[in-house]
């Protein structure tokens, strides 16, 4: 997609069209000439910009799954612009829904969102060709459409595993991702595999269930340790609003077992 068309779609990347900002990019709501509403990610200048752009476009262009964000187009204009265009997700991120929403999600909705993320992750590990290690699974990278259908987004640091690789474990030279969601083998060594993503998913699922971030200055414990303590003391009233729908205790125990 040409830069001219993207400028027109976003009213020249105006502030009133900006819907998000991250470490490496601004995100705008755009309207293409055919009326399609899209999310326009404009990467910030920096040493990693071209690598992030090439990596994300390269990975996403080979993926197709209901729980993976859909790539609409991209733009590399001279040395000045690197832009990626995605389908628009009106409910923003899972993080916004969990921690900034006006209404609490019921248990059924939380589990459907968790199951959708699991399906997307399973596709990356088992259905994609080549397979993909995502590396940065967290609520702010899970987007939701108007039906609360989750889609994994932001593939800037994802790694493709060659189809002929004897092992799904790869060696990395730089620790990347988001600290509270790192698997121990990734944080303490240079090894990375699909199991690292599964660990991150366990932390994310616990966050969905508990409604709290993994690390909180008001809570002296990491969320997995904190929930384990609450269960041992039989004081899991923090989840009481969920018990009106289904008993989440068994799901919590399963998640904690997977995080060992």
Residues marked as binding for ATP?
41
In DSSP terms, which residues pair with 42 in a beta bridge? 26, 83
Identify the three-state secondary structure at position 196.
Answer: helix
* CB contact set of 134 (below 8 Å; sequence gap of 6+): 121, 124, 152, 155, 158, 197, 200
* CB contact set of 13 (below 8 Å; sequence gap of 6+): 7, 26, 28, 40, 42
E strand spans, 104-230: 131-133, 142-144, 150-152, 159-161, 170-171, 191-192
- Given the residues 16, 52, 136, 145, select the one marked as catalytic: 136
Verify whether residue 106 is a known catalytic residue: no
Residue that has been written with the tokens 């493709």 in this structure = 160
Burial of 188 (0-12, 13-18, 19+ CB in 10 A): exposed
CA gap 69, 63 in Å, rounded: 9
Which parts are annotated binding residues?
41
E strand spans, the chain: 18-21, 25-31, 37-43, 71-77, 81-87, 131-133, 142-144, 150-152, 159-161, 170-171, 191-192
Are the C-beta atoms of residues 158 and 132 closer than 8 Å to each other?
Answer: yes
Of 60, 47, 54, 105, nearest to 82 by C-alpha is: 54
Please identify every residue annotated as catalytic: 136
């Amino acid at each position: 997609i040409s830069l001219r068309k993207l400028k027109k779609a976003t009213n020249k990347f105006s502030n009133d069209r900006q819907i998000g900002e991250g470490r490496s990019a601004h995100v705008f709501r755009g309207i293409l000439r055919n009326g399609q509403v899209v999310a326009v990610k404009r990467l910030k200048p920096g040493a990693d910009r071209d690598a992030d752009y090439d990596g994300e476009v390269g990975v996403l262009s080979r993926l197709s799954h209901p729980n993976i964000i859909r790539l609409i187009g991209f733009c590399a204009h001279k040395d000045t612009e690197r832009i990626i265009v995605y389908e628009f997700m009106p409910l923003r991120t899972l993080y916004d829904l969990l921690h900034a929403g006006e209404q609490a999600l019921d248990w059924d909705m939380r589990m459907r969102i968790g199951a959708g993320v699991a399906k997307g992750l399973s596709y990356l590990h088992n259905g994609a060709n080549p397979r993909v290690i995502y590396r940065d699974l967290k609520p702010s990278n899970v987007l939701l459409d108007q039906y609360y259908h989750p889609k994994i987004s932001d593939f800037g640091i994802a790694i493709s595993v060659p189809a002929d690789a004897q092992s799904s474990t790869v060696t990395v030279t730089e620790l990347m991702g988001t600290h509270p969601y790192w698997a121990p083998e990734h944080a303490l060594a240079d090894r990375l595999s699909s199991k690292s993503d599964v660990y991150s998913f366990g932390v994310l699922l616990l966050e969905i269930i508990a409604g709290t971030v993994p690390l909180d200055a008001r809570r002296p414990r990491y969320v997995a340790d904190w929930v384990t303590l609450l269960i041992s003391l039989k004081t899991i009233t923090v989840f009481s609003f969920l018990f009106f729908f289904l008993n989440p205790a068994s799901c919590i125990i399963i998640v904690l077992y997977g995080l060992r």
